[in-house]
Amino acid sequence: MAKSRNTEQKIFDAATELFLEKGVDRTSVREIASRAGINLALMNYYFRSKENLFDAIFTALMKKNSEELIRILNSDLELNEKIRQYVHVYIDMLSENPLLVSFVMSILHRSRERITEMKAINSLYATDQFTRQIIEEGKKGNIRRTDPTHFFVDMLSLIAFPFAIKMLVMDKNNITEKEFQGFILERKERVPEILIDNLRPRR
């Protein structure tokens, strides 16, 4: 029993590393077994298939990383402060897992039919309370009336997309990994500024 948990975990960990590094499709189950130091057949004993293993990993990654973001979004923080915290925490999270974005996006492309079915991915987009807050603030005249869907998409775009084109940005601006980290750090201030600016009521 102790040993089985251990084996399962070793497979899980090895697969997580490889999926994030090389993508799911370019990782073979033999490679996973090899890195985990176990036999190929054990792969299928613990997780029925590669696809199943992937689902388990994806669900765990989403759960682990989305809980704090959801908490912030559903909190009763004042709007501008909520935006600042959300952007900060999200960018910090992606900085620590820079491969997460392209991983998630490849998933979105992989299975275009059954996205709602993947409950894990719902956690990325739980905006009911946030939507209400934006509409209400608009009615009060505290902010410019704006479309909450657009606003949330703007926010996600400015946060996540730079990680997806990380290598392009590094190559084209001739900067190192460390300098890219600095670039991303600057965005923790810049992105909330853009978003809040855009909400400011007009003359």
> What amino acid is encoded at 127 in this protein?
T
**What are the Cα distances from residue 107, in Å, to 32, 39, 103, 142, 199?**
19, 27, 6, 38, 32
Return the number of other C-beta atoms located less than 10 Å from residue 194's C-beta: 13
Q: If binding is defined by CB under 8 A, does position 93 make contact with a second copy?
A: no
| Least CB distance to DNA at residue 56 (A) | 13
User: Which of residues 13, 23, 29, 154 is near DNA by CB under 7 A?
Assistant: 29
Q: If binding is defined by CB under 8 A, does position 108 make contact with a second copy?
A: yes
Which does residue 115 bind out of a second copy, DNA, none, counting CB within 5 to 8 angstroms by kind?
a second copy
> What amino acid is encoded at 26 in this protein?
R
Which does residue 156 bind out of a second copy, DNA, none, counting CB within 5 to 8 angstroms by kind?
a second copy
| Least CB distance to DNA at residue 5 (A) | 8
| Least CB distance to DNA at residue 10 (A) | 9
Q: Which residues bind a second copy (CB under 8 A)?
A: 23, 25-26, 99, 102-103, 105-106, 108-110, 112, 115-116, 121-122, 124-125, 127, 147, 149-150, 153-154, 156-158, 160-162, 164-165, 167-169, 171-173, 183, 186-187, 190, 193-194, 197-198
